[in-house]
Structure 1
């Protein structure tokens, strides 16, 4: 298995990067949709239905597959011989950040359900503040992988 992963390294890494870009795009955009949904759209009208459709499709058709493929290709990279030195700090900071990003993804999915049921209680300001989390995590991940301390 190690030889296969070593031979496929550049394909795996490329697919991982593409998956992460798609996932990050969704993690940046869905909270922004929630801001507009709360501040402009309201609930119980045609625009509310439109926003719920956009939010559902973004989550189900783009974000979920991108998160899953990011995890799959990332784990393949971890299992590739010689890629990760576990005695360094960077794989641990990256791993923690990925777990936090996955938690944020699930948190967003829960908020989408709140909009569906008409029980959202969060403000646009709160969604704006939460929208900063993936940016901070992305910075930690990129610096961890590039500097590899």
Structure 2
């Protein structure tokens, strides 16, 4: 397997073609194993005991998030409760604009690529997911659904992290 910016690509996608790969999104459920904390440009995985507040976000087949803009303070640990109100699989991925755009391009080329990071929630139709994230960097970030075609249809929101 190849490691690419925190994303694992299945070798079969490269060797046997995308048609021979089972789709990973929605099939792999989050494990109860401890989350590996790795600093990113947009923060680090948070601890539930440090949650300052919970933000509910819905996502649907209209390819939109509600709300689409979020304001957060530097140092805040947020619990995102993400509800998929649609009939399609969607995901909530936090990142920089550049990182999400790069990941979205890979998803178009390799729709069956496997990845599961603490800043991602893959949510089946009618279900909910959760992310706990600490925003320890000031800046403008985004959340997006990077499933092939969803990002390109505008399924993107903005997170503004302001200094304390």
TM-score, L = length of structure 1: 0.27
Higher relative contact order (CA 8 A, sep 6+): 1
TM-score, L = length of structure 2: 0.25
The structure that has the greater radius of gyration is 1
Greater fraction strand: 2
Greater fraction helix: 1
